[in-house]
Structure 1
Amino acid sequence: MVRIGLVGTNWITERMLDGLSHMDNLTVTAVYSRTSERASKFASKHGIPHQFTNLEEMAVSDSIDAVYIATPNSLHAEQAILFLQNGKHVLCEKPLAANSKEVQRMFETAQQHNVLLMEAMKSTLLPNFKVIQENLHKLGPIRKYFASFCQYSSRYDQYKEGVVLNAFDPKFANGALMDLGVYCIYPLISLFGAPLEVKATGTILESGVDSSGSVTLKYEDKDAVLMYSKVSNSALPWEIQGEEGTMLITKVSSPEQVEIRYHNGSVESLTVEMPYPSMYYEAREFVDLIEQGKTESEVNTYSNSYMTMKVADSIRKEIGLEFPSDLLV
């Protein structure tokens, strides 16, 4: 029985708990929040026996074997390293850190202490992503990859009224690229590796974060186009185009339907059912790895997380987007 602690008590933590509820080889034993009132309320709601308002105390506690970190991006590296140094396995929300140098420090710490660190990028662990991987050969030589994640943020309405919440605050390493764009980048890296060249444009708000962006990535034999936005919506599917056909996937952040449209006009549906909540699958991978004594996922690998953040670094450099976190490494 793996004992997991929760760091953060926001809506994404609630969704993770939904995923964890379908597993019988783990138990949630602790929760951290900045205030005792919030920690106590959350613990009482979910029947969690231990509450912490001090991360150092939680990190050395013998009440947990692992943690799930769901705090602002700028805090990921510092918090993950603290737990890794104390022998705790870490499942950390995407993006794994604020920049690639932080990611490198995190993985180095995990390796030094022989514990598991995994990025909680759910899309690549869902059943339909495996379907994508297993059927790519049917497309022939791949020539183009297109991914769009444009989702109007309700917090943007407040931003326009002068209220800058975390989602639009650069000190938390947030914005469209870090919140949505990484969902377009990570599967690309997982499927095709690192690009040879990155070109990007973006719009930066007065608060100092980006509201939207477009990216072109060059490979030796193909190119990729990414679009992301927190100030507009898009209903476009995710596409992988080959010489023999095109694969269309709904929701780059959570692949739900997959089909191939061949040049002869035929359509092959490849969709498989997803019987559990989407966040179950990343939790399942994480706990299975702990039980197997492994310190790295073969799906959400160190390399995929690092290269995704390297691409994000390149995009930010192209559009002139800097975070306070960049000055700390």
Structure 2
Amino acid sequence: MIRFGVIGTNWITEKFIQAATEVEGFTLSAVYSRTDEQAKRFAAKFSVEATFTDLKSFVESDEIDAVYIASPNSFHAEQAILCMEHGKHVLCEKPMASNSKEVNDMIYTAKQNNVLLMEALKTTLLPNFKTIQENINRIGKIRRYVASYCQYSSRYDAYKEGKILNAFNPAFSNGSLMDIGVYCVYPLVVLFGKPDTVKANGIVLESGVDGEGSMTLKYSEKDAVISYSKITNSSLPSEIQGEKGNIIIDKIHTPEKVDIKFNDGSVEDITREQEKPSMYYEVKEFIDLIKNGELESQVNTYKNSLVASEIIEDARKQMGIVYPADR
């Protein structure tokens, strides 16, 4: 069994645990939170006895083999590095860190301490992303990638009333691109690597984070168009356009329906059944790697996480978004 400690006691950690309990080899052994009351309340939901409010004591615990980090983005690097320096494997929620320097520091620490570090970007490990990868050659030379993820945030209502929650607070390295735009960027990087150029535009809110934005990315023989938002909704699908047809993806963040539409008008459904919760697959990848003694995912690689971070950082700079972590 791989004994997990969790940092962060929010809804995403609950979803993680619920999915992870279906993975053979997972057990939850410890909970860290800033307050004892919150740590104990969260741990009680999952019948866990070990709780911590001191991070040093948490990482020194011999009851923990691996740590899932779901704290605000600005804490990811510091917490992950401390965990890895104490021999813990780390599954870190997306985005990996505030900027590419922090990502590089995390990768260096993982290598120095011979532990596994993986970004918990679920999309690229889902069955329907794998079917995209396996069928992409059937649509000929790829010319364009189009990804859209726009989801109105309930926290924006609070923002408009003058209450700035974490989602719209630059102190936590947050905003639309970091929160959901990454779901458009990371699959692009896994499929096609690093683009030659990035051009970005967006709406920067008074708090200093982006509410929504768009990017055009150029490769030598193709381009990519990405749009994302936390202040509007969109029902547009995403797609990959080739010279012989296009792959239509219902939701880039969690693909559940994938079709190929060929130039002759024929349509083929290449959807695969997703039998487990979406976060199950990232946990299984992580645990399988540990069991096999491997220290890097071949899908959510160090390089992919670094390139995705570099793209996001470049886009932020073009929009004038600077986090305290950047200084």
The question of 1:185 aligning with 2:185 is answered yes
Moved over 6 A (4+): none
Letter in 2 for 1:51: T
Structure 2 distance, partners of 1:63, 1:6, is 12
Q: What residue is the counterpart of 2:152 in the other structure? A: 152
> 1:192-231, aligned counterparts within 5 Å?
192-231=192-231
Structure 2 distance, partners of 1:18, 1:229, is 28
User: SS state of the match for residue 202, structure 1?
Assistant: strand
Structure 2 distance, partners of 1:73, 1:45, is 25
Letter in 2 for 1:112: Q
Q: CA deviation at 1:241?
A: 0.1
The question of 1:240 aligning with 2:215 is answered no
Q: What residue is the counterpart of 2:260 in the other structure? A: 260
TM-score by length of 2: 0.99
Q: What residue is the counterpart of 1:13 in the other structure? A: 13
Q: CA deviation at 1:45?
A: 1.3
Q: What residue is the counterpart of 2:309 in the other structure? A: 309
Q: CA deviation at 1:236?
A: 0.7
Q: What residue is the counterpart of 2:282 in the other structure? A: 282
Q: What residue is the counterpart of 2:34 in the other structure? A: 34
Matched residues, number: 327
Structure 1 distance, partners of 2:24, 2:47, is 16
Structure 2 distance, partners of 1:172, 1:252, is 25
> 1:3-152, aligned counterparts within 5 Å?
3-152=3-152
User: SS state of the match for residue 321, structure 1?
Assistant: coil
Q: What residue is the counterpart of 1:324 in the other structure? A: 324
Letter in 2 for 1:109: T
Structure 2 distance, partners of 1:293, 1:101, is 27
Q: CA RMSD in A?
A: 0.5
Q: What residue is the counterpart of 1:295 in the other structure? A: 295
Letter in 1 for 2:72: P
User: SS state of the match for residue 47, structure 1?
Assistant: coil
User: SS state of the match for residue 221, structure 1?
Assistant: coil
TM-score by length of 1: 0.99
CA displacement, residues 36-75 of structure 1 (integer Å, 9 cap, x when unaligned):
0001111111111210001110101101000000000000
Structure 2 distance, partners of 1:230, 1:168, is 9
Structure 1, unmatched stretches of 5+, are none
Q: CA deviation at 1:216?
A: 0.2
Letter in 2 for 1:47: S
CA displacement, residues 153-192 of structure 1 (integer Å, 9 cap, x when unaligned):
0000000000000000000000000001111000000000
Q: CA deviation at 1:324?
A: 0.4
Structure 2, unmatched stretches of 5+, are none
CA displacement, residues 270-320 of structure 1 (integer Å, 9 cap, x when unaligned):
001001000000000001111111110001000000000000011011111
Question: Percent of aligned positions with the same letter in both sequences?
Answer: 59
Structure 2 distance, partners of 1:56, 1:47, is 23
Structure 2 distance, partners of 1:223, 1:272, is 27
